[in-house]
């Protein structure tokens, strides 16, 4: 079977290609050239002839996240199109093409999966993300003592974006002062309450009408996403992420600063950070596993947009043999035992308490990290996920065009 892996800027595509090859699939990797974007009309233009010819020569197409133009071409050619989300909610799924018979849509966040399933789709499936622990462990085994001592050791670390540059701040100056202040008050209140309920409730019809007047919201052709969906997640969600990450990291760094250090690996630091050692963002494949493995405590602060699912960072920390302290995502309890394979917090106070505790209790911390690694190695590899995907496609595709 020949599979076209439609590539874009996402970290774990090599892992999926390797797993497909492990099942005897011939993988042809293709990354579409940059496309022209008409910002005024909200339209993206693709070289359909090139993409069409690439898809025409294969049996199946796979991509992380969903691309409407790829689905439409697959539908025309009657080729199965497998997409697996790494973002949630995935705005591109709110498009008329999701009803194409060619689609096999896999979603890692159960909350969002139910939302999409409720649109009347038959071939949409829940599938959590995974980890190539074998690759991560091989990378870690190759690290030198000199490399570790040059800056990879951390007491507490966080690897990720601070969302210092976000869409809300980009348009804040265009909003009426009263509306801008209203959203900031909602964000401040939501900051210390789990979930996104206050943000969801803040977008009344009157507020949305004001937003439409103040912004240049446009829908791409075929899209049925609305302003509430986009503003909640793309604007308010990322602004909340910036606020939450600054507050949480500052609290932890301040609590441990007399005896320990907090290292932040990011591409866009925030000037509000205190007592934090800011380092450059690390390479996903080569350096990131070593940071996770050499940090006594790895912090995960999930985007609130991910309502219930487990983000990729969680899988990668555990697959690197690192100890993970994560916010309490709903689905974590479906796969891991808290206090045995992972540690979680619901409040900043709990995060501080557990950080201080595990910095002082090496044996417990190391044991939890070892258990977490064993769990993902045994149950959550890409091979297991790909086997599930291929079984579903094989079982269902014969009925698609009958």
Residues facing 343 on adjacent strands: 325
Average pLDDT of the chain, as a whole number = 94
Split at pLDDT 50, 70, 90, the class of 38 is low
Residue 42 reports pLDDT greater than 60: no
Whether residue 64 is preceded by a cis peptide bond, meaning omega within 30 degrees of 0, is no
The tokens describing 312, both together, are 């990729």
Q: Which strands sit side by side in the sheet containing 26-31, from one edge to the other?
A: 26-31, 2-7, 60-64, 81-84, 103-107, 124-126
Residue 16 contacts residue 29 (beta carbons within 8 Å): no
CA 346/CA 366 separation, integer angstroms:
22
Percent of all residues in the chain with a pLDDT value above 70, rounded to a whole number: 96
Residue where the block lists tokens 């990797």:
29
Residue 402 reports pLDDT greater than 50: no
Residue 51 contacts residue 70 (beta carbons within 8 Å): yes
Provide the pLDDT for residue 152.
86
Kindly give, in sequence order, each residue whose CB lies less than 8 Å from that of residue 365, ignoring residues fewer than 6 positions away.
296, 297, 323, 358, 359
CA 130/CA 83 separation, integer angstroms:
15
Residue 8 reports pLDDT greater than 70: yes
Provide the pLDDT for residue 332.
98
240 CB burial (10 A radius; 0-12, 13-18, 19+):
buried
Residue 35 reports pLDDT greater than 90: no
41 CB burial (10 A radius; 0-12, 13-18, 19+):
exposed
Q: What is the mean pLDDT of residues 322-347?
A: 98
Residue-wise over 131-146: b if at least 16 C-beta within 10 A, else e?
A: bbbebbbebbeebeee
Q: What is the pLDDT of residues 136-147, one digit of tens each?
A: 999 999 887 777
Cβ-based neighbour number of residue 175 at 10 Å:
17
pTM for this model (two decimals): 0.95
Q: What is the mean pLDDT of residues 367-381?
A: 98
| Cβ-defined contacts of 217-223 (< 8 Å, 24+) | 218/40, 218/41, 218/42, 219/42, 220/42, 220/43, 220/44, 220/95, 221/42, 221/43, 222/68, 222/95, 222/96, 222/97, 223/42, 223/94, 223/95, 223/96
Provide the pLDDT for residue 39.
53
CA 103/CA 92 separation, integer angstroms:
14
Provide the pLDDT for residue 397.
67
Identify the three-state secondary structure at position 22: helix
Residue 90 contacts residue 65 (beta carbons within 8 Å): yes
Q: Which domains does the chain have, with CATH numbers?
A: 2-130+382-399 (3.40.50.2000), 133-379 (3.40.50.2000)
Q: What is the pLDDT of residues 213-227, one digit of tens each?
A: 888 777 778 899 999
Which stretch of 15-19, 44-48, 102-106, 239-243 has the lowest confidence by average pLDDT? 44-48
CA 22/CA 193 separation, integer angstroms:
44
Q: What is the mean pLDDT of residues 91-118?
A: 97
Q: Cα–chain-centroid distance for residue 60?
A: 24
Percent of all residues in the chain with a pLDDT value above 90, rounded to a whole number: 86
Provide the pLDDT for residue 325.
98
Residue 230 contacts residue 220 (beta carbons within 8 Å): no
CA 155/CA 141 separation, integer angstroms:
20
Residues facing 156 on adjacent strands: 262, 297
Q: What is the pLDDT of residues 152-183, one digit of tens each?
A: 899 999 999 999 999 999 999 999 999 999 99
φ, ψ at 218 (rounded to 5°): -135, 150
Q: What is the mean pLDDT of residues 81-87?
A: 98
Q: Which of 158, 112, 117 is nearest to 331 (CA)?
A: 112
CA distances from 399 to 1, 20, 71, 99 (A): 19, 23, 18, 15
């Amino acid at each position: 079977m020949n599979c076209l892996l439609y590539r874009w800027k996402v970290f774990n595509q090599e892992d999926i290609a390797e797993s497909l090859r492990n099942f005897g699939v011939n993988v042809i990797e293709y990354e579409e050239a940059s496309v022209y974007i008409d910002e005024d009309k909200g339209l993206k233009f693709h070289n359909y002839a090139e993409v069409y010819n690439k898809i025409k020569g294969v049996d199946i197409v796979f991509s992380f996240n969903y691309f409407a133009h790829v689905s439409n071409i697959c539908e025309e050619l009657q080729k199965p199109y497998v997409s697996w989300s790494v973002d949630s909610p995935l705005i591109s799924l709110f498009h008329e093409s999701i009803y194409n018979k060619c689609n096999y849509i896999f979603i890692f966040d159960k909350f969002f999966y139910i939302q999409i399933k409720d649109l009347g789709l038959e071939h949409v499936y829940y599938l959590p993300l995974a980890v190539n622990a074998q690759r991560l462990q091989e990378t870690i085994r190759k690290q030198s003592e000199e490399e570790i001592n040059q800056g990879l050791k951390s007491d507490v670390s966080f690897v990720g974006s601070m969302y210092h540059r976000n869409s809300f701040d980009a348009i804040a100056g265009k909003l009426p002062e009263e509306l801008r202040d209203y959203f900031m008050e909602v964000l401040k209140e939501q900051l210390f309450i789990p979930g996104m309920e206050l943000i969801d409730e803040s977008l009344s019809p009157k507020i949305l009408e004001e937003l439409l007047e103040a912004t240049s919201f446009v829908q791409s052709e075929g899209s049925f996403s609305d302003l509430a969906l986009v503003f909640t997640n793309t604007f308010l969600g990322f602004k909340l992420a910036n606020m939450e990450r600054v507050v949480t990291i500052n609290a932890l760094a301040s609590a441990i600063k007399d005896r320990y250090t907090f290292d932040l690996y990011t591409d866009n630091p925030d000037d509000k950070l205190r007592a934090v050692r800011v380092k450059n963002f690390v390479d996903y494949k080569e350096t990131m596993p070593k940071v996770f493995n050499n940090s006594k405590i790895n912090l995960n602060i999930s985007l609130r947009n991910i309502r219930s699912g487990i983000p990729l960072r969680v899988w990668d920390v555990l697959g690197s043999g690192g100890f993970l302290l994560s916010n309490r995502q709903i689905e974590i309890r479906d796969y891991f035992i808290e206090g045995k394979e992972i540690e979680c917090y619901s409040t900043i106070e709990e995060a501080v308490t557990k950080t201080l505790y595990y910095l002082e209790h090496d044996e417990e911390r190391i044991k939890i990290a070892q258990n977490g690694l064993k769990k993902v190695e045994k149950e959550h590899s890409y091979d297991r996920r790909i086997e599930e995907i291929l079984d579903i496609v094989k079982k269902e595709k014969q009925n698609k065009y009958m």
